[in-house]
Amino acid sequence: MNISAKPNFSTRLAETFTLLSGCWRRRAVATAILAPAIALGAPHALADESGNGYRLPGLDGSFAAVPQPPGWGFAAVYIHFSDGANGSLETTLGDKITLGLKALAETALLVPSYTAHDPILGGQLQLSMGSVVLEGLNVNVTHASINGTQLGPESGSLVAPGELYPAAQLRWNFGVNNFMLFADGGIPVGSYDPSRLANTGKNTFAIDGGAGYTYFDKNTGHEFTGVIGISNNWPNPATDYRNGNTVHLDWGASQHLSEDFFVGAVGYVYDQITPDTGAGAILGPNLSRAASIGPQVGFTNVLGLKGSFLGVKGYYDFYAQRRLNGWNTWLTLSLALGG
């Protein structure tokens, strides 16, 4: 890589960042809990398109497979990410890269939904459309170099809308056992510039699908949920880069301490099963893996509204490969509006 051929310092640094940013985990999308990502791109040398796959590990938690009150619903979600990483690698072109970074994201999402009154295939259908209405990103590269030539520090920030995430779930209830099939996707409408350090858009389409199970005994208050799925990403036409497919397992466990209050734990396991491809995939397979765990608390029937929910959960990454690691916290308010 001939860094002197790059037009300016910021572009060289953005390119260096994306080479190592297979460390960065994109945290993205679904029904009532969505999350955006930092899409840090460069036109000539990319790594997992800034390390961001489509699917957000941990987006499905407790009660995911339990049928919902029929009619219209609405969710508002606030998400705070604070992650960092330091590392080095050698590209397939023989360039040696080192990088240290810190990333901060604050996100607001709105998710309207409709749950069918009449059964479909014996189950309950729910449709939703998530939208990242506002996202603030701040990326600080503390140090960076290519083949010993220092390029950092540098920073980038952006406040802009994000993307759209349509989703569909089909749920069945059999006493304490609940089952779910789901499909969701990503539609690129966010702000995207491949020469910029911070982006709220991915500039790629994506689809995801899988199944879930929830055990919930209302008499004892015991609950456990597991959701497994696989995601597929389309290429980014601006960069000729395609993220590999990933398998994700999300779980949640809780105990009701009263009729409307529960505490518990959440976590996930995330594994990339196919390599990144395209002209910019110069890090080899660049396979990423991660695992996380954290606490959760939740209130149901908030303000006396049946089917409403207010919850807080946090994830700590105790294992990460080719990803940033740290804490992220989610606050979710969901209302069942009926109709």
Reply yes or no on whether the pLDDT at 29 is more than 60: no
Three-state SS across the chain?
A: CCHHHCCCHHHHHHHHHHHHHHHCCCCCCCCCCCCCCCCCCCCCCECHHHHCCCCCCCCCCCCCCCCCCCEEEEEEEEEEEEEEEEEEEECCCCCEEEEEEEEEEEEEEEEEEEECCCCECCEEEEEEEEEEEEEEEEEEEEEEEECCEECCCEEEEEEECCCEEEEEEEEEEECCEEEEEEEEEEECCCCCCCCCCCCCCCCCCEEEEEEEEEEEECCCCEEEEEEEEEEEECCECCCCEECCCEEEEEEEEEEEEECCEEEEEEEEEEEECCCCEECCECCCCCCCEEEEEEEEEEEECHHHCCCCEEEEEEEEEEEEECCCEEEEEEEEEEEEEEC
Reply yes or no on whether the pLDDT at 38 is more than 90: no
d(CA 19, CA 51): 9
- Give the pLDDT confidence of 226-255 residue by residue, as tens digits: 999 999 988 888 878 888 889 999 999 999
Please state the pTM of the whole predicted model.
0.79
Reported confidence tier of residue 2, pLDDT bands at 50, 70, 90: very low
Q: What is the mean pLDDT of the chain?
A: 77
Tell me the average pLDDT across 278-293. 78
- Give the pLDDT confidence of 104-154 residue by residue, as tens digits: 778 888 999 999 999 999 999 999 998 888 777 777 777 777 777 776 667
- Give the pLDDT confidence of 45-91 residue by residue, as tens digits: 223 455 456 677 778 889 999 999 899 999 998 888 777 666 666 66
| 171-193 as b/e: b if 16+ CB within 10 A | bbeeeeebebbbebbbebbbbbe
Reply yes or no on whether the pLDDT at 257 is more than 90: yes
pLDDT of residue 49: 56
Q: How many CA atoms lie within 13 A of 298 on its CB side?
A: 29
pLDDT of residue 203: 83
Reply yes or no on whether the pLDDT at 39 is more than 70: no
Residue that has been written with the tokens 């696989």 in this structure: 230
Reported confidence tier of residue 44, pLDDT bands at 50, 70, 90: very low
CATH of domain 3-338: 2.40.160.40
